[in-house]
Amino acid sequence: MKQKETLLNTMGINISNSSFDELGEDHVGTSFETPLREDAFEMDDNLKIELIEKHFREIMHIMGLDLTDDSLQGTPHRVAKMYVKEVFSGLNPKNKPAAKLFENKYKYNEMLVEKDITFHSHCEHHFVPIYGKAHVAYISNGDVIGLSKINRIVQYYSKRPQVQERLTMQIGNELKEALGTEDVAVIMDAYHMCVSSRGVQDTNSSTVTSFYSGKFQHDEHTRQEFLKYIELKK
């Protein structure tokens, strides 16, 4: 026990293991913004990959895996590269998609819905996958956005350690800012492997979160029209 406390102290952690577990099981999110240190991007990607590879190799060694085995030799590097370049690439603001707008010349002033956008993220409490579908709608305020950019915004914020509530809000607020309209709705329906592959091991349940602003928040008819399009009941 003393050795464990000493190790935690050296890492700047003063919280008990029981508290760790409670935070994870209660699905706590600490802020709207993804928690990042001020110096998060001072280190370049290549150095991050090198350091993560070193530490992941040590994790594998501690678990007793034989890193001289042909199948395992390259795993630390593959994991490090995957973390930095792929599954957590949304942490870096330089990867944020540019949301180019176009004038709404055809004067389309009804709801635009893009549904069933596939996304993959990772639970920030256990670093295991979250995956599912996002459904997005907006009403133009004079400009429109390319459809693929909506997918890219969803993917950008998904590629971070996340909780689903924060992810939903980040996508909704980004679309409001990018489109210059308050009339935005987002619904996310996702499976959490921290629920299905560990803990309670429930493989059937999914989690639904929503973001409504403008007409979607204040006008029941508008909200119900959106829900009808994506075939989810209120």
Look up 124 and say whether it is catalytic: yes
Given 3-state DSSP classes, what are the helix, strand and coil percentages for the chain, each rounded to the nearest 5? Answer: 45, 20, 35
Name the catalytic one among 122, 162, 174, 192: 192
Name the catalytic one among 53, 122, 125, 170: 125
Name the catalytic one among 123, 135, 170, 174: 123
CA 97, 33, 185, 227 dihedral sign is: positive
- Beta strands, E only, the chain: 101-103, 111-123, 129-139, 143-145, 161-162, 184-192, 207-212
Look up 22 and say whether it is catalytic: no
Name the catalytic one among 114, 120, 126, 182: 126
Q: Give alpha helix (H) positions in 44-146.
A: 45-62, 75-82
Name the catalytic one among 124, 135, 162, 174: 124
Look up 220 and say whether it is catalytic: no
Look up 192 and say whether it is catalytic: yes
Look up 170 and say whether it is catalytic: no
Name the catalytic one among 53, 122, 170, 194: 194
CA distances from 234 to 87, 175, 209, 224 (A): 32, 22, 12, 8
Name the catalytic one among 53, 135, 155, 164: 164
Residues labelled catalytic = 123-126, 164, 192, 194
